[in-house]
Chains A and B, each alone.
Chain A
């Protein structure tokens, strides 16, 4: 799961400035602000609330890092714009064996690193093995995969088990292809002793549209065009990524100081000057969900499946969508609406207070307080979890469920959630890669499932487990679509997770920018803008 950290101090600021910013009119002017305004001069200024840690692809797994590395490194496969339904060739074409265990990558065309050398199979093998070996945040992407060179332009990735998701994983910018000779000359290895991170934070070693000029992970990153880039030259010769909190982003993009603001909430984009700015909006791939521990020792009354069913019926999803702002959608299951295998809707998760009360009576719940954990310093695409938790508390109270809110800073709430010993809570999940298999983490015995005490031995897992295996084994888009939908329908009956909302993702740009496509993995491909 990717992280989303927002300063609560900035959150406070956000609210106030957003209110101020919303009242702005088209007559506002900041020409004297010292900014050059507009998108001329070959520079693109992007305001982003940084969660950046490093520019080393093998260690980077944050949103800002993904956007940055997308510009610096080419990947074997990629996605076109915001369409993540089918990976396409960037450096390589691919073929997946019938048993879905062997993926063959073949380099197509000439791809040059910034120093003029050509990308070859050794670079791909080194880059992938390095991701596996340094044991950084993204190393799990290639767990159980053996990478081998066949010839100078061919590489095979062999998985221990059928791995139909692998082509969907490879476009991740963490799997960017590095100039292996250059990186090895600067301390790079394919093991934990790798020492190339410092080098990669000062000099990019990729074949992407841009190369790194300067990197200050807490404040600013500057990119310059890669003269050797083989694709269509980007419209902007220089890109400045600035770490700016959302409230200030709004004013900057309205004034022309920045051309893109990436972190505005649905409320903040309301009232923007349509003449100067354009809003690109879509449902984000973040899924906010409630969870209830299925282990009676920790979940207490919340461990009863009828109790969770009552919660599903007690929630007024439309009211919650109104609260989270325009563009938000209710996911039918845990898989977000833009991925293969998603559910449009499911009657199990629909508002029916009478049914909720009936189910509650069946569960034997007698009004015991349910401790409800959430991160009180996190906003997911502008949606404060604190507000959402309060709304859930109020709606559940209406059918007789007593929720005791347990807010904690994310640093400690994650610990409690991951312990698997907390009673219930509100959490969120961002995709590691745009494939429904990423959401098998929510099934019994898996990473997220265990946090809710859901094991393959749980009574509620009996009907789910065969569907999990069927989803894993399914091959081809239609079969996978059907298998994952069936799995989610059953999870909506027996599972401890209640999908609540996918908040809207909004990117505001100056009105003269074109071809702005939001991607759930790297947010924006800046080289594709015109």
Chain B
């Protein structure tokens, strides 16, 4: 990372011998970046602005531009379902990120112990990331359905009192989302941690071992702190998966029972597209974006800071 500091130097060097073609060379990087910058300006920021404008209108089935101020936000605040969805996101997101990190770290450490067939195991842990819930939704619904899936299976083995009916329990349905989401993403987190572990300098560990530190202690005091940047990347990736979670809810619970397992993304979609309330849907989208910003700004801040001082 210390290498990046020198990045400023060559620009100065090439500026010294600026010629006609040198001028073009100086502009080329900006030219190359220009289309992407324009795309991002229009398709990300332009669309966000457009969504914000719509959130101030009473748009119904298709966008209209009759402004109603912040009335849609007020309606959103008064909407019970929105609060259920937001609370669910906190519960779901928190558990999802925490469990993925813990499970990913444990699996990565265990897998790093010169395991036979490591490649096969790693692939098995990683593959769920390759599948969308459009593909696995049906089978998850089966597995979690008390009458068809795991509960029925375990009962058929003779454990008549076994219960696993979270899917149909309004208080527990949101946790079934956590199970499936962890299944999908924890292997990826494991891969990130494994990559991080492999990147740690052996000599640090040897030194710690020579000091007579026990294995758990080495991990706790030496290895895990080295993984901090990985934890950071993983938290970012996981929280954006959590906020965007949509297919998952649609495939598993449909937001039910009732709307007990609704999330903001499904709330927004239902209102903007199914219920002809684009204004309200846009308002909820803006609040979601606000949530994203709250996560992203600290990340970008530290990212840029570490670059400058790294």
A binds B: no
Binding site for A on B (CB under 8 A): none
Binding site for B on A (CB under 8 A): none
